[in-house]
Structure 1
Amino acid sequence: MSSPNVDFLGRCAKSRPRFAKHVVGPAPTDPFDFQIWSMSGGHLLILEILANIYSQLDTIPPAEEQNFALFCLFGMQFIEHHHHLEETVIFPMMEPEFTTNVLAEHATFSGALHELDKYLKSVLAVKQGAKNGQVIPIVGQAKVPFSASTIKRYMETMIDPLFTHLEHELEWLAPENIRASGLSKARLDQINAKAEEHIQNEMDISLLVFGTRHVRPESYFPPLPWFLAKILVPWVFWWKDRKLWKFLPKSFVPIEP
């Protein structure tokens, strides 16, 4: 796999304001406005996760390679869960009134994403657990050496098609487009409830910590209950994979207009 000529962090800087502008206020109560708010928040999280991982790849000491590989795997699993949710819940439930080419666009970057997920699991010698963010050691399997350059190549391969797709989704989900499709408020409420159910059932608590600690200070997404955000995440869920949290962002790159 050759490495494309990509300014990875520059590509993040280009998309960051496009995602951030929709989540600088609280969650809308109107479900037609909520779709772009929620999707933008998820996209901004994906961007900050990728930027954070990429910016640290050349700084990881050998003693921390296994921990950082798991941290990277959390990032890929967060992104995979986001797109799995779109393919199995959000966009199918909007049909037939509201249609997109989401599957075709996912195919433009999913190969590199899945190969990176597979590579990180081989570095850790683990297999997938029941939920995203859970892995099971494979007894007797040799670990593949950690390679920052290999991770970079996969990330650089997927960054442009991924962000191009994320930008397209926000265009699709403009409130006026959803209203024009004829989708009802009741259906949108059902979609939101089903998406929340899937997140609760398919995402490990460590992935919740991982995701929420990549939230920019300007962002109101995700709309977590106070007790979950202020008590459970920082004081209970935090401890399970605390060896990884040294890699969380200490600060965020300013958003350029």
Structure 2
Amino acid sequence: MGYSNVDFASRCDKSRPKFAKYCVGPAPTDLFEMQRWSMAGAHLMILEVLANIYSQLDTIPPEEEQNFALFCLFGMQVIEHHHHMEETVIFPMMQPEFTTNVLEEHAAFSNAMHELDAYLKAVLAVKQGAKNGQVIPIAGQAKVPFSVPKIKQILDTMIDPLLTHLEHELEWLAPENIRASGLPRERLEEIDAKVEGHIKNEMDPSILVFGVGHTRPGSHFPPLPWVLLKILVPWVFWWKDRKLWKFLPKSFVPIEL
């Protein structure tokens, strides 16, 4: 699947191998190494979501605009939820031993991220449901037109500060940095358990299908049980929003690490 904008594609190409090299292979058993592995896997998924959406914008026929808007909204909800967990769970729980400037870096792209989320909901005339991946139609609200130039403009605004930040996080979370901070292993266990709980409680199963569909070969992120990955995702969870999965990547070009 080709990209429709050289600058956007080039920016993604710059970060892609940086993310991929840390999440190729199974999840590490060492919790200090696991932090960067899981973050790199999430970052690679986010990158592929944005690259996939951008590459298709000029090809969506009018009759598919509503479906594609919902597909794009799923992508924004994945990104927003990821950064919400960082701000409320992951990095706060690593303090005071391990500190970052995560809030400052998030501020560089959060306005664009929230703007696109709000715009897509206006296109669909929906409000947020109880979980990401669930939306509620707003009775009587007119839908705003689906505008490819508007979506591109927002994505172009956010892509560089977003990917720059995602690169920085992998530098912060180098295992040697976490160990040197004195952060105890028990705290990492608490963080991982809390993150897992947030994902289970705040994500509709369709978001899981969406995420797995943007996972590159060679990446074992997210580390899901076999029955979930091989049975529930493709044969059970797939059905509810099956009209959207035509927009998932058809194939991935190999990454040169």
Match in the other structure for 2:142:
142
Cα RMSD of the aligned pairs, angstroms, is: 1.0
Match in the other structure for 1:216:
216
Match in the other structure for 1:40:
40
Counterpart code for 2:11: R
**Contact kept in structure 2, 1:206 and 1:237, CA below 8 Å:** yes
The normalised TM-score by structure 2 is 0.97
Match in the other structure for 2:121:
121
1:71 aligns with 2:71: yes
Structure 1 residue 253 displacement after superposition? 3.0
Structure 1 residue 221 displacement after superposition? 0.8
**Contact kept in structure 2, 1:68 and 1:247, CA below 8 Å:** yes
Which SS does the other structure have where 2:136 is aligned? strand
1:206 aligns with 2:206: yes
1:195 aligns with 2:195: yes
Structure 1 residue 6 displacement after superposition? 7.7
1:52 aligns with 2:52: yes
Match in the other structure for 2:90:
90
- The runs of 4+ residues in structure 1 deviating greater than 6 Å are none
Match in the other structure for 1:175:
175
**Contact kept in structure 2, 1:46 and 1:79, CA below 8 Å:** yes
Structure 1 residue 256 displacement after superposition? 3.5
Partner deviation per Cα, 1:8-65 (whole Å, 9 max, x = no partner): 0110000000000011111001000000000000000000000000000000000000
Which SS does the other structure have where 1:108 is aligned? coil
Counterpart code for 2:45: L
The number of residue pairs the alignment matches comes to 253
Match in the other structure for 1:14:
14
**C-alpha distance in 1, partners of 2:102/2:236?**
37
Structure 1 residue 254 displacement after superposition? 2.9
Counterpart code for 1:223: P
Match in the other structure for 2:231:
231
**Contact kept in structure 2, 1:23 and 1:221, CA below 8 Å:** yes
Structure 1 residue 132 displacement after superposition? 1.1
Partner deviation per Cα, 1:175-206 (whole Å, 9 max, x = no partner): 00000000111111111111100010111111
1:21-32 aligned at under 5 Å gives the runs: 21-32=21-32
**C-alpha distance in 2, partners of 1:101/1:234?**
39
Q: Percent identity?
A: 79
**C-alpha distance in 2, partners of 1:209/1:161?**
27
Match in the other structure for 2:153:
153
**Contact kept in structure 2, 1:125 and 1:137, CA below 8 Å:** yes
**Contact kept in structure 2, 1:67 and 1:244, CA below 8 Å:** yes
**C-alpha distance in 1, partners of 2:137/2:121?**
9
Structure 1 residue 164 displacement after superposition? 0.4
**Contact kept in structure 2, 1:8 and 1:156, CA below 8 Å:** yes
**C-alpha distance in 2, partners of 1:16/1:227?**
29
Which SS does the other structure have where 1:176 is aligned? helix
The normalised TM-score by structure 1 is 0.97
Structure 1 residue 76 displacement after superposition? 0.4
**Structure 2, gaps ≥5 residues long:** none
Match in the other structure for 1:108:
108
**Contact kept in structure 2, 1:45 and 1:215, CA below 8 Å:** yes
